[in-house]
Amino acid sequence: MNISFRQLRLVLALAETGSVSGAARMMHVTQPTASMQLKDVADSIGLPIYEVVGRRVYMTEAGSELARTARAVATEWDGFEQRVDALKGYTRGKLRVALVSTAKYFVPRLLGSFCKRYPDIDVSLEVLNRDGVVARLRNNLDDLYVMSVPPKDLDLVDEVFMANPLVVICASANPLAKQKSLSLAELCGQRFILREEGSGTRMAVDHCFKNLKFRPDVRLELGSNEAIKESVAGGLGISVISSHALHGNAKEHGVSVLNVARFPLESHWHVVHPKGKKLSPIASIFKAHLLAST
């Protein structure tokens, strides 16, 4: 097979964008040129690498395998460039980080201080729900991943770097907000608004309630902390969310933190990557920056 490094980059762009036109834009070539190069790649390996169904591109099995190989080659090459730059006294390159949505309340701030120290670094930040981050982790699409509940079925390098206390909140106008202390049993008559199943917060809350034999009356399940805060402030129920979603405050935007026995619920933020993955110099430096942030 005779496939150039640039053609490998094009295949990777096709897999990431899901379209030939998108891959062409990413590689700064015309669409006809991209189509011709992709055809040359398919001819070289003797199998189609993608198919178009309903105007949408789907990678074939051969194409998916080639994209995985291209990603590994590109990652290794990027790391090599960074190591050469380091020998020259430069610190530059690209950092790819995927994080769960609740981490958006503090990771950008940590990235900001990092980028002030290393201004020549380009950052790609993916903010998704936990399932989305785990999917990217399984496919090794990023350098580092930030979440509160890493998957147990993957062999990972997993390090804790920050506390993630989970607190009970209610509307500031709710009479409960005036109570100095509450037991969990006193919340039995309340309707709960919780994060969607599969989220790290929901998994921690469900585990806690199960251990305490407490059955919450769940009124709503929402995939956004902002939507939960608005719903609670509107009097639709009470909730359990990360204190980071309140920016560390006891009161925010019409909601108040309740002093409930067994809460705040202990949880932590983890920075993870697949075991055996060779981190680029930039990723290693940023990981150290995260671990030193507490």
CA distance 18 to 35: 13
Place of tokens 């790819």: 96
Task: Give the pLDDT score at 97.
Answer: 96
Q: Read off the pLDDT band of 281 (50, 70, 90).
A: confident
CB contact at 8 A, 165 and 191: no
Domains of the chain: 5-68 (1.10.10.10), 92-162+269-291 (3.40.190.10), 166-266 (3.40.190.10)
Which residues does 111 contact at the CB level (< 8 Å), separation at least 6?
Answer: 97, 123, 125, 286
- Whether the predicted pLDDT of 247 surpasses 70: yes
pLDDT in tens, 230-243: 999 999 999 999 99
Task: Give the pLDDT score at 87.
Answer: 66
Residue range 186-214: average pLDDT? 93
Residue 55: count of CB within 10 angstroms of its CB: 6
Residue range 140-146: average pLDDT? 94
Residue 7: CA count within 13 A, CB half-sphere: 18
Task: Give the pLDDT score at 248.
Answer: 74
Residues in the chain: 294
Beta bridge partner(s), residue 276: none
CA distance 68 to 62: 10
Task: Give the pLDDT score at 90.
Answer: 59
Which residues does 95 contact at the CB level (< 8 Å), separation at least 6?
Answer: 121, 122, 123, 124, 143, 144, 280, 282, 283, 286
Task: Give the pLDDT score at 92.
Answer: 74
Q: What rounded mean pLDDT belongs to the chain?
A: 91
Residue bearing the bigger pLDDT, 104 or 54 = 104
- Whether the predicted pLDDT of 156 surpasses 80: yes
Task: Give the pLDDT score at 89.
Answer: 60
Which residues does 273 contact at the CB level (< 8 Å), separation at least 6?
Answer: 137, 143, 144, 145, 156, 157, 279, 283
Residue range 273-287: average pLDDT? 90
Task: Give the pLDDT score at 94.
Answer: 86
What are the structure tokens assigned to 122, written together? Answer: 């380009």
Residue 266 DSSP class: P
pLDDT in tens, 22-78: 999 999 999 999 999 999 999 999 999 999 887 788 999 999 999 999 988 888 888
Place of tokens 């769940």: 218
CA distance 191 to 284: 44
**Nearest-10 Cα torsion for 88, 94, 100, 102:** 70
What are the structure tokens assigned to 98, written together? Answer: 């995927």
CA distance 270 to 234: 33
Q: Which helix (H) or strand (E) holds 273?
A: strand 268-274
Task: Give the pLDDT score at 88.
Answer: 66
pTM of the predicted model over 0.85: no
